[in-house]
């Protein structure tokens, strides 16, 4: 069940890779040095590490919203 939505702004991504370090399950770096988000709909179980990824991003390129559209990270 997907409870949260990830919004990823590739234009803001500078390829720092901290999201990949924080949550390798859902983030990787593409050949263009931009993050690739595997799934943009995540469950409660996946939330903690994805929040860590969103908080680690120096350019705030990753945002997470709950089902009601309230921002939960960063
Ligand atoms: S942490 Fe942010 S800037 Fe770095 S790769 Fe991930 S999305 Fe891009």
pLDDT along the chain (74 residues), means of 10: 91 97 98 97 97 98 97 98
Strand ranges in 1-74 using DSSP code E only, listed in sequence order: 4-8, 27-29, 35-37, 41-42, 62-66, 71-73
Determine the Cα–Cα distance for residues 70 and 34; give it in Å rounded to an integer: 26
Q: Where are the domains of the chain?
A: 4-73
Q: What is the CATH number of domain 4-73?
A: 3.30.70.20
Task: Report pTM.
Answer: 0.95
3-state secondary structure of 19: helix
The Å distance, Cα 28 to ligand 1 centre, comes to 9
Q: Which two tokens stand for residue 38?
A: 């595997």
Hey, how many other C-beta atoms are within 10 angstroms of the C-beta on 40? 14
CA-nearest residue for atom 8, ligand 1, is 13
CA-nearest residue for atom 3, ligand 1, is 13
Per the DSSP assignment, residues forming a β-bridge with 65 are 5, 71
């Amino acid at each position: 069940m997907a409870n949260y939505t990830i919004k990823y702004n590739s234009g803001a991504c500078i390829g720092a890779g901290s999201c990949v370090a924080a949550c390798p399950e859902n983030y990787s770096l593409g050949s263009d040095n931009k993050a690739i988000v595997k799934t943009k709909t995540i469950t409660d179980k996946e939330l903690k590490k994805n929040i860590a990824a969103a908080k680690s991003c120096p350019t705030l390129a990753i945002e997470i919203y709950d089902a009601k559209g309230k921002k939960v990270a960063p």
